[in-house]
Chain A
Amino acid sequence: MAVLVIADHDGKQLKPGVTNTITAASRMGDPVVVLVAGDACAGAAEAASKVAGVSKVLLSEAPYYAGGLAENLAALVVTLAPQYGHLVAPASGFGKNVMPRVAALLDVQQISDISGVETPDTFVRPIYAGNVLATVQSSDKIKVVTVRGTAFDPAGAAASAAPVEKLAPAPDAGLSQFKGQELSKSTRPELTAARIIVSGGRGMGSAENFKILETLADKLGAAVGASRAAVDSGYMPNDYQVGQTGKIVAPELYIAVGISGAIQHLAGMKDSKVIVAINKDPEAPIFAVADYWLVEDLFKAVPEFTQAL
C-alpha cells in the first residue's frame, strides 16, 4: 500500500532527516507520496519532488499551517489517511509534535523513532536511551511511524522530478495561533546534518568558555553541540542539546569536550562514526565509547587542537 511522508521543512527547503525518512518509507510500502503543508512552501514541495523514490508531492498551503501547528496539520493528515498504509515523518521536533496527534485521532498506537524496518508491520526502535533495542509489531490498520534520521541513508536525487499536486487545506481548527520563531543565528551547519560536531559539557564552566569550542568548530567547518548538563547550567540554548531528550546525531566525527558521558548524552551521539573525547578526568565514562581519548585540561587542549589544524 502507499506510504505518506509528512515533510518537515522551512518553506523553501526540506529539513535534514526528511530524505532519510523517505528511504525508511520506501521499505514500508509503495508508492511513496510526500505531503508538504505550510504557509508558503512551494519551494519545499519542489525540493521534495526531486528526491529519488518520491512518486508524487502533495502541496497544501494556508496561513494557519505556519509553524507547523499540530492541531491544523493533524486534521489535514487525517483526511488523507484512508488512502495510505503508513503515515511517516522524521522524529524531529516537528514530527514528534504532529504525529502522535494524528495517531490518536485515528485510534492508532504510534511507533516512535524507529531505527529499522523489519517488515511493513514490524520495526526496531531504541528505548531506555538507546541502551535497548526493541522489535515491535503493530496490529493497527494504518501504521503511524516517526523515523530516526541517523539510522537511514538519505535518499538521493531523482532522475526526473515527480509531479506536484495542489491539495486544498483543511479548515482552521481555531485552537492555536502561531506567533513567531526566534531561531538561533548561526553560520555553522545544522547539528543533525553536520559532518563534524564539537560538543561541550559541564566541564566548559561557562557560556563564555564555549567560544574556544566555536573557534575549533569554525576551523573544522563543524556544528557546535552541548550536553544536557551544559544546557541545564545555562551555558547553551536547548536547541544545541545532544542526547536522549535533545537531538540524536551521528556525524562522521564527534568531538566531546568536558563531557563526562552520562547515559542520556551517550544516547544522542554513540552512533557517530569516529568519537573523540577530551576530558581531564581519566575515569570519565565518555572514554568507553571514544575511538580516541585524550586526558588533558580542555582549556589547554582545545586551543592547541585549533592551532594544529
Chain B
Amino acid sequence: MKVLVTVKRVVDPYVKVRVKADGSGVETANVKMTMNPFCEIAVEQAVRMKEAGIVTEIVAVSIGVQQCQETLRTAMAMGADRGILVETAEEVQPLAVAKVLKAVVAKEQPRLVIMGKQAIDDDSNQSGQMLAALLGWPQATFISNIEIAGDNAEITREIDGGLEKLTVKLPAVATADLRLNEPRYVTLPNIMKAKKKPLEIVKPDALGVDVAPRLKTLKVQEPPKRSAGVKVNDVADLVNKLKNEARVV
C-alpha cells in the first residue's frame, strides 16, 4: 500500500513571533523554521506502518518556498522514500492546499493520505478535511490509532469528551493528533541517506491548480497584554486574595 504524507514548514513552535511594523503580517525573516509538529507525527506513522510491512512506499509532499526542500529531506531522513515539492512563493490557503494535494493524489494514487491535524502557524485545522471532501474520500481526523483491516481502516480518534471509534473505507485521509505516536529523532546516517533520495519539484500551474487566496488579510496585530500580576507569599495569602480581592472563590 502506498501512502502520501504531507509536511509543512513552519516557524518553530518555541519561537515567539512578532508582528511586522506595518501590520501586514508576521516577521518570518531570520526566524528558526521547522517541520510542523503534527506533520512529524504523520510521517512517523507512515514509517511505522512501513516497518510493520503494511506500507510499501511513502511519498512526502510539501507546498511552499524552495526551502521546503529541507523539510522534505527531514521527512526522508525519518523514512519517507521520496519527496515532491510543489514550489510557490505565494501564500497558499487551506482550500488551495487541498486542491494541490488532490492533483498530487491523482498522479500518485495512494491508498492513504496521512496529514497533521493542524499547522501551528495559521492554526486553521482544515486541509485534511478539505482534501477528503474534494476526493470524495472518508476522513479520519484527530486520530490516536489506526489499524488497516482489508479494505477498511479502523480508527480511534480524539473527541472533546474522550475517544471515538470509526471504520472508514479506503482510500481515506487521516489527520494525526498528539498521542498517535512519538516521532523519532533523525540520525546522521539517515540524514546522509536522505540526501540521495529523489526529490521532484513541480509548480502549481503544472498541476493545473489555481492557488490564489480567497481570504484577504487586512491587518495583523498583537493581542492586548494582560496587566502585571502580584506575587503572593504563601497559600494563606493566595486564598485571602482570591476571596477578598478577586472574589472568585
Binding site for B on A (CB under 8 A): 15, 67, 69-71, 74, 92-94, 96-105, 107-113, 122, 126-140, 173-184, 190, 192, 196, 220, 228, 231-232, 237-239, 241, 244-245, 247, 252-253, 262-264, 270, 273-276, 287, 289-296, 301, 304-305, 308-309
| Closest CB in chain B relative to A279 CB, distance in Å | 11
A183 to B129, CA, bound (A): 24
Q: Is the CB of B235 within 8 A of A270?
A: no
By a CB distance below 8 angstroms, the chain A residues around B236 are: 308
A104-B134, A128-B17, A305-B238 known; A239-B158 Cβ under 8 A: yes
Select which of B141, B231, B249 is within 8 A of A196 by beta carbon. Answer: B249
A262 to B13, CA, bound (A): 9
A and B contact pairs by CB, cutoff 8 A, 13 listed: A70-B129, A126-B123, A127-B26, A129-B13, A134-B217, A136-B215, A176-B167, A180-B164, A183-B161, A231-B178, A244-B120, A263-B14, A292-B229
**Segment with Cβ contacts to A, from B48-56, B71-79, B91-99:** B91-99
| Closest CB in chain A relative to B179 CB, distance in Å | 5
A104 to B215, CA, bound (A): 14
**Segment with Cβ contacts to A, from B1-9, B82-90, B240-248:** B240-248
By a CB distance below 8 angstroms, the chain B residues around A107 are: 95
Q: Is the CB of A110 within 8 A of B249?
A: no
A308 to B234, CA, bound (A): 11
State the main secondary structure of chain A at its contact with B: mixed
Using C-beta atoms within 8 Å of the partner chain, give the interface range for chain B. 35 or more
A131 to B11, CA, bound (A): 13
Q: Is the CB of B138 within 8 A of A71?
A: yes
Q: Is the CB of A294 within 8 A of B132?
A: no
By a CB distance below 8 angstroms, the chain B residues around A176 are: 138-140, 166-169
By a CB distance below 8 angstroms, the chain B residues around A264 are: 13, 120
A131-B17, A135-B219, A239-B160 known; A100-B230 Cβ under 8 A: no
A132 to B16, CA, bound (A): 10
| Closest CB in chain A relative to B21 CB, distance in Å | 14
By a CB distance below 8 angstroms, the chain B residues around A101 are: 129-130, 132-133, 139
A67-B166, A175-B168, A176-B169 known; A137-B178 Cβ under 8 A: no
